């Protein structure tokens, strides 16, 4: 008889299973019924956790049930048993990518010399653990009731409260939304059935082109809509975090965080903006000994270096000035004057190059050929403010640059920061920010820690993504700079699946996830052989785990599996052998200090770390040849191969089984500056689209990458596919925006005479589109204006930047022609919307301008033709003009941007657009390739309603 369905284990995802006698479902904790299977309970007990994960109640009656006697000491497997034990490595193992393949070469008993320090520290830890085990043994002898009373007395009242909570979208809002999505999908099927079975014979080419475009738009809609199937909201409990990890009279137990700030060009990214970001980081509401700020100057500019040296508190005697707003503002204005004076001085580079204050030449005078530079400004020698309070650590970093080496732009700079921070501070979490994104919410780090330090959900989270918010955007957000629909709609939907995508800034990473490791509890792989039948019942959990291990070995992401938690139980020879097998040097590079830091799951520096040699080691790990023949940029750190390294990096993590979380505090965590003028905005979108095309043409394309692992959820994969195929929508979009003008100039149309049933499908499609938007607005909270701006810029970017990105991506792949992008300029002045009306000549402006002129010419030609033909021509004209006005309305912000403040448009833009539109119009009127030659009627293919 088939066993009843059992719940799923909260730790490993397997079915909990039944008691040994088969009488009922296994229960680990009889107090709260927390779902945990026998294997995971056995593992928790081996680790010394004798209480329930959720409520803390001891597993008093279950110790014997899972095979651990009360008086029997807990033993651990040897290395050989561990590597062959399917159960332990299947659920609780951590994994590293294929580049860490097993090395078959034998080594001496002593192992590699670079691991002598590590072996010594392991010995010390083992001795400490032996001493600690005696205390644990004594504690076990205490009666269970007495243990529980002591725990309740010592624990804080709110210590076991959740740190965050999921707030699902109300069913009254999400259910109608899902129903309309399904109805719209059905209507689309009926609509395409009508379109395909009713061709327009008189203009077959126009009809076929429109149908192909509409099919592509429908596919794009599916890719965009279905990942929003389960949107959620989250709330955090910062007070509970403090109650648990910041108890009065005790040192703070909050995890340390390394902040990364990246900048390249001080002329386009003003030092004052970078300095503001650094100041906001140093002022976060977080323990100062837990905060370190690393500034990556990839342009090796002395201007950036000097701006960080300016003392914000210079000559301030009265400590109370920081509490007075006016005094603080005045002091900050003086600080701005000093920074701006440096900028003015740096406008002209001396012929002999820049010289530092001590008279020595600046090492970075040649930005493409200079040594690595590190300067610890604060925190190295216990720097304090005027009140005697310790200041957070501040480190300037400029990695080495040499000709002939590939430096991988921002991704390479971020990876250099990962290594240097691991050597100097090695915080378990990393928060990266662009230089123009300052901390707007002083409690932002605490918001992230409510997820990352939660033992229930933090163990499988690779990063916490915050939404991007911006200052200095015009009130109507003409070019959709805020990306409200993406950040408030799409990302909420992804958070309900496997997590939001990484968007490049405002993200808190778990450092171990950047090292290529998998989560502590890997999700199970789908196994066809594990399906149950009515006569056999479900497979045993052990069999599933064995299949899981075999599949993991075949998976290219999990070739080397090991458990860092068990590594300390091995003897010296076993440890050295295991370390050699993992080939850490081939994976992480030849730095024993850095490799040692990767084995510390909770961060911190090794006991054997020597402060005198840390800077030298930090210089070594940022050398330009350090990453050669390693896994950096392939499986570890920020992934190379695309200018949108953020999407690629997050995708690799999700493929390993990690999940991410979207955090939206009421007060925006970070705020930045956006390029508000038309030219810069289009170039920004062009860079993003080109990165997506590069991923599409690479081995990491979500269409085919990572299927063997089975750890990327289907809807999450659809979302990633949407992020890499959306630029290709530009091709059908340009064609579809050209069709209205062609129809008006030729007198033909793409739709035949409509029947009553066909009119119902058209009307149902339009109503479903409108209803979907309305319901989306209802559950997401975005405004109608934001939704409309997003729709407009989808067309503007599609017919301009996305189109160029597709051609440049294929040009790079086929001809090897790389496109060098310039950094988007960040405004440093105080003029509100000062750049909104700036127009810079760029070829990206030509296609949308041509479409505008072409459709306007078509509307004029259509009305002229109707006036000449009389009353009968006005009915068919309505459908064509409506089609043309749809294009013009979507391109209206672009047209307004071209006009500028004084309604002045660059002459070359007008000449090119008028020339192309005129030539195109004449060609279509005279040649008319999409219209049958034998048909002289000008109205036969036009739309008409058959009543």
Residue numbering of the annotated binding site: 262, 268-269, 298, 409-410, 434
Q: To 10 degrees, the CA torsion angle through 246, 249, 253, 256?
A: 90
Cβ atoms 38, 18 nearer than 8 A: no
DSSP string of 68-93, one letter each residue: --TTSPP----HHHHHH-HHHHHHS-
Separation between Cα atoms, residue 637 and residue 416, nearest integer Å: 9
Q: Which two tokens stand for residue 797?
A: 């970017």
Can you say which residues are annotated as belonging to the binding site for Mn(2+)? 410, 434
Separation between Cα atoms, residue 424 and residue 612, nearest integer Å: 11
* Sign of CA pseudo-dihedral 280, 281, 282, 285: positive
Separation between Cα atoms, residue 391 and residue 158, nearest integer Å: 31
762: number of Cβ within 10 Å: 15
Separation between Cα atoms, residue 247 and residue 245, nearest integer Å: 6
Altogether, the residues listed in the chain come to a count of 947
Separation between Cα atoms, residue 28 and residue 38, nearest integer Å: 8
Can you say which residues are annotated as belonging to the binding site for UDP-alpha-D-glucose? 262, 268-269, 298, 409
CA atoms within 13 A on the CB side of 556: 11
Pairing of strands 429-434, 257-263: parallel
CA atoms within 13 A on the CB side of 99: 18
Q: Name the nearest CA neighbour of 737 among 863, 889, 881, 851.
A: 851
Q: Name the nearest CA neighbour of 501 among 639, 652, 633, 635.
A: 652
- Catalytic annotation, pick one of 88, 265, 298, 454: 298
Q: In the annotation, is 289 catalytic?
A: no
Cβ atoms 2, 23 nearer than 8 A: no
* Sign of CA pseudo-dihedral 182, 184, 188, 194: positive
The percent of the chain in helix, strand and coil, each rounded to the nearest 5, is 50, 10, 40
Q: Which two tokens stand for residue 361?
A: 């030449």
H or E, element range at 560: strand 560-562
Q: Which two tokens stand for residue 877?
A: 């004209």
Separation between Cα atoms, residue 702 and residue 711, nearest integer Å: 13
Q: In the annotation, is 298 catalytic?
A: yes
Cβ atoms 851, 799 nearer than 8 A: yes
- Catalytic annotation, pick one of 436, 454, 544, 646: 646
Q: Which residues have a catalytic role annotated?
A: 298, 646
């Amino acid at each position: 008889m088939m066993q009843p369905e059992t719940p799923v284990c909260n730790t490993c995802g397997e079915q909990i299973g039944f008691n040994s006698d088969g009488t009922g479902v296994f229960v680990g904790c009889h107090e709260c019924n927390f779902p945990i299977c026998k294997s995971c309970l056995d593992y928790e007990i081996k680790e010394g956790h004798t209480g329930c994960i959720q409520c803390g109640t001891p597993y008093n009656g279950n110790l014997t049930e899972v095979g651990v006697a009360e008086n029997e000491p807990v033993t651990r497997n040897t290395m050989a048993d561990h590597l062959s034990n399917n159960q332990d490595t299947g659920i609780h193992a951590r994994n590293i990518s294929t580049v860490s393949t097993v090395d078959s070469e034998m080594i001496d008993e002593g192992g590699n010399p670079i691991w002598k320090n590590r072996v010594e520290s392991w010995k010390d830890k083992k001795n400490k653990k032996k001493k600690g085990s005696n205390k644990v043994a004594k504690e076990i002898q205490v009666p269970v009731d007495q243990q529980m009373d002591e725990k309740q007395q010592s624990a804080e009242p709110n210590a076991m409260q959740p740190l965050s909570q999921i707030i699902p979208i109300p069913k009254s809002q999400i259910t109608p939304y899902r129903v309309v999505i399904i109805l719209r999908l059905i209507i689309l099927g009926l609509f395409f059935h009508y379109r395909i079975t009713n061709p327009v014979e008189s203009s077959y080419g126009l009809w076929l082109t429109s149908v192909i475009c509409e099919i592509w738009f429908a596919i794009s809609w599916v890719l965009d809509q279905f990942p929003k199937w389960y949107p959620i909201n989250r709330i955090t409990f910062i007070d509970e975090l403090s109650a648990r990890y910041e108890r009065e009279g005790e040192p703070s137990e909050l995890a340390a965080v390394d902040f990364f700030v990246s900048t390249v060009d001080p002329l386009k990214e003003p030092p004052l903006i970078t300095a503001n970001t650094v100041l906001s980081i140093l002022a976060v509401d977080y323990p100062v000994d837990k905060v370190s700020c690393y500034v990556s100057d990839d342009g090796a500019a002395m201007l950036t270096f000097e701006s960080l040296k300016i003392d914000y508190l210079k000559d301030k005697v009265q400590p109370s000035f920081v509490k007075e707003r006016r005094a603080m503002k005045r002091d900050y204005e003086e600080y701005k004057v000093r920074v701006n004076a440096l900028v003015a001085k740096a406008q002209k580079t001396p012929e002999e190059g820049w010289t530092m204050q001590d008279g020595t030449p600046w090492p970075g005078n040649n930005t493409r050929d200079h040594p690595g530079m590190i300067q610890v400004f604060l925190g190295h020698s216990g720097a304090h403010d005027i009140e005697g309070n310790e200041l957070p650590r501040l480190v300037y970093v400029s990695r080495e640059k040499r000709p002939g080496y590939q430096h991988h732009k921002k991704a390479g700079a971020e990876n250099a920061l990962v290594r240097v921070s691991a050597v100097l501070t090695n915080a378990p979490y990393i928060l990266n920010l662009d230089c123009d994104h300052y901390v707007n919410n002083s409690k932002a780090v605490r918001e992230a820690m409510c997820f990352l330090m939660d033992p229930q959900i933090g163990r499988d989270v690779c990063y916490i993504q915050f939404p991007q918010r911006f200052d200095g955007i015009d009130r109507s957000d003409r070019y959709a700079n805020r990306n409200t629909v993406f950040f408030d709609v799409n990302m909420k939907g992804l958070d309900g699946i496997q997590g939001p995508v990484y968007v490049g800034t405002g993200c808190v990473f778990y450092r171990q996830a950047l090292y290529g490791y998998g989560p502590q509890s890997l999700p199970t792989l789908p196994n066809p052989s594990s399906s149950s039948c009515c006569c056999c019942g479900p497979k045993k959990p052990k069999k599933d785990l064995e299949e899981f291990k075999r599949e993991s070995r075949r998976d290219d992401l999990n070739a080397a599996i090991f458990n860092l938690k068990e590594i300390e139980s091995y003897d010296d020879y076993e440890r050295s052998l295991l370390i050699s097998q993992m080939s850490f040097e081939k994976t992480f590079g030849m730095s024993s200090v850095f490799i040692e830091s990767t084995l510390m799951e909770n961060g911190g520096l090794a006991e054997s770390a020597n402060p005198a040699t840390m800077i030298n080691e930090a210089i070594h790990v940022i050398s330009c040849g350090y990453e050669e023949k390693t896994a950096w940029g392939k499986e570890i750190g920020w992934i190379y191969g695309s200018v949108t390294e953020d999407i690629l990096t997050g995708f690799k993590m999700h493929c390993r089984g990690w999940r991410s979380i979207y955090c939206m505090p009421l007060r925006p965590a970070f705020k930045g500056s956006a390029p508000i003028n038309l030219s810069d905005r289009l170039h920004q979108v062009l860079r993003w689209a080109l990165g997506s095309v590069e991923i599409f043409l690479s081995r990491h394309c979500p269409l085919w990458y990572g299927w063997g692992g089975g750890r990327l959820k289907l809807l999450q994969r659809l979302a990633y596919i949407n992020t890499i195929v959306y630029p290709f929508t530009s091709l059908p979009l340009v064609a579809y925006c050209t069709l209205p003008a062609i129809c008006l100039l030729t007198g033909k149309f793409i739709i035949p005479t409509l029947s009553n049933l066909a009119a119902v499908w058209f009307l149902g499609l339009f109503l479903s589109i409108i209803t979907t938007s309305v319901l989306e607005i209802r559950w997401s909270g975005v405004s109608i204006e934001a939704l409309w701006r997003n729709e407009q810029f989808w067309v503007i970017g599609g017919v301009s930047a996305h189109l160029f990105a597709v051609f440049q991506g294929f040009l790079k792949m086929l001809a090897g022609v790389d496109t060098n992008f310039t950094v988007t300029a960040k405004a440093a002045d105080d003029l509100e919307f000062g750049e909104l009306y700036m127009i810079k000549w760029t070829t990206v402006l030509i296609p949308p301008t041509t479409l505008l002129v072409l459709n306007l010419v078509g509307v004029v030609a259509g009305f002229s033709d109707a006036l000449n033909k009389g009353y009968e021509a006005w009915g068919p004209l309505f459908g064509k003009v409506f089609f043309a006005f749809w294009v013009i309305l979507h391109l209206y912000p672009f047209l307004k941007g071209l006009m500028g403040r004084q309604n002045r448009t660059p002459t070359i833009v007008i000449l090119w657009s008028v020339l192309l539109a005129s030539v195109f119009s004449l060609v279509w009127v005279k040649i008319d390739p999409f219209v049958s030659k034998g048909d002289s009627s000008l109205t036969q293919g036009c739309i008409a309603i058959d009543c």
